[in-house]
Homo-oligomer: A and B are copies of this chain.
Amino acid sequence: MTDAARARELDAADPLAHLRARFLGVDDPSVVAYFDGNSLGRPLRATAQRMDAFVREQWGGRLIRGWTDEWLDWPLVLGDRLGAIALGAAPGQVVVADSTTVLLYKLIRAAVDAQPDRREIVVDTDNFPTDRYVVEGIAAERGRVVRWVETDPVAGITPAQVAEVVGPDTALLVFSHVAYRSAFVADAAEITRLAHDAGALVLWDLSHSVGSVPVSLDAWGADLAVGCSYKYLNGGPGAPAFGYVATRHLDRLRQPVQGWMGRADLFEMGPGYEAAPGVRAVLSGTPPILAMVPLGAGLDLLEEAGIAAVRTKSVLLTQHVVELADAWLAPLGFRVASPRDPERRGSHVTLCHPDARALNARLVDAGVIPDFRAPDGLRIGLSPLSTSFAEVHRGMELVREVASRG
């Protein structure tokens, strides 16, 4: 199961294998294995072409007319596409805008402010840092309390833990669908149900799942969600984020950053703010149009591949890494710190090792690019659309080689 022939077999059987050639940089001999597409996805060749065409023809050619021609609708049009292709969200609930942090702030504020009688915001200790910082800041400024759930760094947040903390004083729970360290996949449907039973709302951070693990926001009954587009959606460094507000909350929840792009009758420019109907009210400032161009190309590819096929390949990729880690790296002091059950594992595998920080630096020098996560984690990210099994095999061989040396 660990020889190169096995990787070749997996590539030969992979129905998405041909899509790897759509990406720029996959033929760069200096990068033996790119294991950090879960931090920054590779650019598509189509993105380079579209960006150039956008700059020359749309921006340079349509000039200001581009806004009323179509750009003003991009946040909602791309949001609807993203909802259909990757989020399980019906139209009219998703916008592309801002950064994940700013959208977290806006939507958490909206949820908390709408429930003045519920004092607690629940968040887990292993949630992504920016989620925790936003929650702490909002709790402090709005006179609320943060209720921490201590999560196991491998097992992640469970329905049992949620059942224990949620109650009549819970305003909102903020969790990641896929944990950024362990890749644990939370049982979002069950956790959402438990929260609703207690009258609380849930916000899901989809940053580490969108584009690699199927998401079913409407089916889960989710209230709010955010996520970034620069990982598995290949949106580019600092690409805009997305936000989801369930239809039933659109009239009720109000985010605090009142800007011209979220106002009813934008170009009236009149006195007084009145929120636009629907999910447009989540917008504040001028939408980052240029930065949305790569996301359009990323969504086209994801639609072509289909999220179910992407997930199937993702499971095979992470399984391959787990097998190689068990065979080659466990004897060298590595420990798999991601769930072994593929159902509960997202699209990366974290390998813990006491010297992970130094190893990471040496691996990068050797052309294998994982990601170090303090204190001792080496994240092996596996972007299903741009990663081959042969690449995984070569990269893991180098991890073994580099770790053996020292």
Contacts and interface: CB of A to CB of B under 8 A. Distances in A.
Interface stretch (A183-191, A243-251, A288-296, A398-406): A288-296
Contacts of A224: none
Contacts of A104: 259
A308 interface: no
A300 B141 CA distance: 41
Interface string A262-284: 01000111111100000000001
A295 to B, nearest CB: 11
Interface stretch (A126-134, A311-319, A337-345): A126-134
Contact of A59 (B105, B236, B268): B236
A125 B272 CA distance: 10
A271 B238 contact: no
A149 interface: no
Interface residues of A, number: 82
Interface stretch (A14-22, A64-72, A81-89, A151-159): A64-72
Given A25-B61, A133-B258, A285 B374 contact: no
Contact of A273 (B34, B36, B137): B137
A115 interface: no
Nearest to A293: B290
A240 B288 contact: yes
A46 to B, nearest CB: 11
A285 B287 CA distance: 16
Nearest to A240: B288
B130 A260 contact: yes
Given A258-B133, A373-B269, A55 B51 contact: yes
A132 B268 CA distance: 13
Q: Which of A136, A263, A289 counts the most chain B CB atoms within 10 A? A: A289
A102 interface: yes
A136 B64 contact: no
Contact of A60 (B43, B64, B267, B289): B43
Contacts of A286: 99-101, 228, 230, 237-238
A390 interface: no
Contact of A64 (B39, B52, B101): B39
A51 B266 CA distance: 31
Contacts of A288: 99, 238-240, 288, 291
A385 to B, nearest CB: 15
Contact of A257 (B55, B134, B230, B291): B134
Contacts of A56: 24-25, 43, 48
Q: Which of A34, A138, A238 counts the most chain B CB atoms within 10 A? A: A238
Given A105-B257, A238-B290, 14 more contacts: A23-B60, A24-B55, A25-B63, A31-B63, A36-B64, A39-B64, A40-B64, A43-B60, A51-B51, A67-B237, A101-B285, A130-B260, A133-B263, A269-B374
Interface of A: 23-25, 28, 31, 34, 36, 39-40, 42-43, 47-48, 51-52, 55-56, 59-61, 63-67, 71, 98-102, 104-105, 113, 125, 128-130, 132-134, 136-138, 141, 228, 230, 236-241, 256-261, 263, 267-273, 284-292, 294, 364, 369, 371, 373-374
